[in-house]
Amino acid sequence: MRRFSCLLLASFLFCVAAVSAREGMWLPPLLSQQAAALRAAGLQIPVDALYNKNGDGLNNAVVRFGGGCTGEMISAEGLLLTNHHCGYGTVQGLSSAAKDYFAHGFWAMNKGEEIPCPGLTVSFVRKMDNVTSVVLEGVTEAMPEAERDSIIARNSRFVEDLYKGNHPGMDATVSSYYNGNEYWISLVEVFKDVRLVGFPPNGIGQFGGDTDNWMWPRHTGDFSIFRVYANSDNKPADYQRNNKPYQPVKYFTLNAKGVKEGDFTMVYGFPGMTQEYLAASQVAQIADIIDPIRIEVRTARLAAWTQKMQADRNVFLKYTSKRAGVANGWKKWQGEVLGLREANVVARRREAENKFQYWAQRDTTLPYADNLLSQIQANVAQGNQVLPAEVYFQEAVLGIELITRGAVLDRLVTALQNGGKEADLKKAIGDWEGFYKNYDAPTDRAVFDTLMPLFFARAGSYVPEYFRKELKRYGSFRAWSADVYNRSVVADPDRFAALVKEGTGASASRLLADPALLLYRATLQTRRNEIAPVLASAQQRLTILSRRYLQAQRIAAPNRAWYPDANGTLRLAYGQVKGIDPEGPAPYSFQTFLSEALAKDNPEVAEFRAPQKLKNLYAAYDFGRWGNGKDVPLAFIADNHTTGGNSGSPVLNANGELIGTNFDRIWEGTMSDLQFDESRCRNISVDIRYTLFIIEKFGGAGWLLNEMKIIR
């Protein structure tokens, strides 16, 4: 067997001692392997204070907030800090025209005023273990992928059941890492009684709106406060008025001394998804096909929503959270494409692949390695034949809410045809009242009139025949949509309520003629018959190839510290407070201030409409303990490696103290999901001093600070 060492292949890109100290999202149990790098970067506390087998690490102060954000415990009485935008959907459900928390904010003046948040959960990761050997027991490289998946699923369930059995009241989930080369289990404790405590108005928590989203300098007080409650035994429990504030294993000390350029920082949280190890052809697929289509369609969809929202405050309240979610991806992808192109990422990947190929052709450790990249490229090319049509279906056709509601009718018809059992009907319908609370048919029809012409123009031969016949029958998109929204049961909450009331007596034949169902089924049929087989075939092979490719890369560079892609599990990233110079010779400062936010104040533009009370506080220099005499620090940037899901993550200093709350990345660096570039990748955080200033001086909720441990 012939092995080539890194010494002999000095030019081989993968033969490096470690990735950049600022790159990486590290698994807490593996931080000991990063101990030297962490200490060299500036960490002052023992590495095992971050996570340890004793179960008293700082991971116990970090929570998964809801389904896709992070939060942190900041008091011994269950106070939880996260982002304003992470609490947005929950607060929307609590708001009304009479209680417009987006316009006026909300501040509880005592625990009795805290508002229960139905359906909201927070989850603590108590332990993580490597269970690869158990999960992969019985798996061979030669077996069919379906058989492999079946064995892994069975073994994973076995491990999860074992952990849950040994830890009553806990949940356990096995997750895949390194493209299926490793498996780890997370032992999780889930709390279900969470209550709203503080929520700044949009003029603070969403200041800058879409215009400043993903941008720096930034002046958004993107935070909100909740409290976790538990039963008398300090254990998770469903909401009960007499539940007690949860006493966490750990909570963060807040350090309000301030930050300076070069300070060590850590971000502890639940990053959602990165794809750092894609081949060049896969990166090109994202940069040249997927992202541009998403941007094009969402630009049109957002314009239709915005016009209706600006004309009617009730429509604004219905769509503000949905719009924020759609706009977030829309702007992020623009920055991602820009960064990938300016950093020449595809060409850099190809150069690295050439060096990998040189190694693979000379090393016999993995006989299949020298053919991996050509196979990946071939399967990507196969998928690209139908991928544009699929993305237009996802973004344009399924961006129309009426069509997506056709899925509800589809389930209802199936339930009725199978005997119409009440339980089945209820499951098929789901939370229909919640949907209609945030739905406006005229707004959705405006989206139909905007996106359907775009879909017809772009999807070519993949436009369903039913769509073509209907457009021909009506003669125009507007005439078509007028009849669809006039006739469909899902377009009107009263009609749908009547359908729900019919229950088992509803007519399946009548629903089969509903235009929303017909549109949905035509969409489903085309995607299922013409697109999905091609994509599924390519993706199935790419799954195997990507697993083998990453395995081969790790073998080729055994001395590199390989971090796994983000997958929604607990991670720690570290770096430094650091400014950015995206366009010219004058570096942007690492810090922004309240004065800069108020300089942007514009009462005529909702995004930049600062509350009068905030302006009054500034005019009087009434900053309490949190300013510097003339101003209040507002936000700062650092070069930590973050992504979606890190929203709300605690930003910690060298002593593990809370100095800020992560909420965004800069536009130039959103390509970090695919390629981290420390020269342009920055995370943005609310300075903890601004958070405390808003709570105490603006919100008048200084009582909350009494239960926090604050260093000044």
Q: Which of 258, 71, 165 is nearest to 692 (CA)?
A: 258
- DSSP 3-state assignment of 381? helix
Residues 6+ apart with CB under 8 A from 620: none
Can you tell me the distance from the alpha carbon of 485 to that of 439, in angstroms, rounded to the nearest whole number? 13
DSSP annotation of 463 reads: S
As separate numbers, helices (DSSP H) first and strands (DSSP E) second, the chain gives 26, 20
DSSP annotation of 182 reads: E
Among the listed residues 212, 222, 263, 514, the single catalytic one is: 222
Q: What share of the chain is helix, strand, coil (3-state, %, to 5)?
A: 50, 15, 35
> Is 641 a known active-site residue?
no
Task: Tell the residue number behind the tokens 């807040």, with chain if given.
Answer: 254
User: What six digits make up the tokens of 165?
Assistant: 């059995």
Can you tell me the distance from the alpha carbon of 384 to that of 538, in angstroms, rounded to the nearest whole number? 10
Contact assessment for residue 230 and residue 193, using Cβ atoms and an 8 Å cutoff:
yes
Identify the burial level of 7 via C-beta atoms within 10 angstroms of its C-beta, where 0-12 means exposed, 13-18 middle and 19 or more buried.
Answer: exposed
Q: Furthest-apart CA pair in the chain: how many Å?
A: 77
User: What six digits make up the tokens of 402?
Assistant: 């009426």
User: What six digits make up the tokens of 64?
Assistant: 């998964």
Among the listed residues 85, 95, 440, 514, the single catalytic one is: 85
Can you tell me the distance from the alpha carbon of 124 to that of 8, in angstroms, rounded to the nearest whole number? 47
Inter-CA distances, 4 with 15, 357, 498, 515, Å: 11, 13, 73, 64
Among the listed residues 647, 649, 672, 685, the single catalytic one is: 647
> Is 222 a known active-site residue?
yes
> Is 104 a known active-site residue?
no
Identify the burial level of 493 via C-beta atoms within 10 angstroms of its C-beta, where 0-12 means exposed, 13-18 middle and 19 or more buried.
Answer: middle
> In 42-69, which positions are buried (b, 16+ CB within 10 angstroms) versus exposed (e)?
bbeeebebbbbeeeebbbbbbbbbbeeb
Q: Please provide residue 544's backbone torsions phi and psi, each rounded to the nearest 5 degrees.
A: -65, -45
Q: What radius of gyration, in Å, describes the C-alpha atoms of the chain?
A: 26
Contact assessment for residue 383 and residue 545, using Cβ atoms and an 8 Å cutoff:
no
Residues listed for the chain:
712
Q: Is the dihedral of CA 692, 693, 695, 696 positive or negative?
A: positive
**Helix pair angle (313-342, 291-311), 10° resolution:** 160
Contact assessment for residue 71 and residue 81, using Cβ atoms and an 8 Å cutoff:
yes
Task: Tell the residue number behind the tokens 């790098």, with chain if given.
Answer: 37
Active site residues: 85, 222, 647
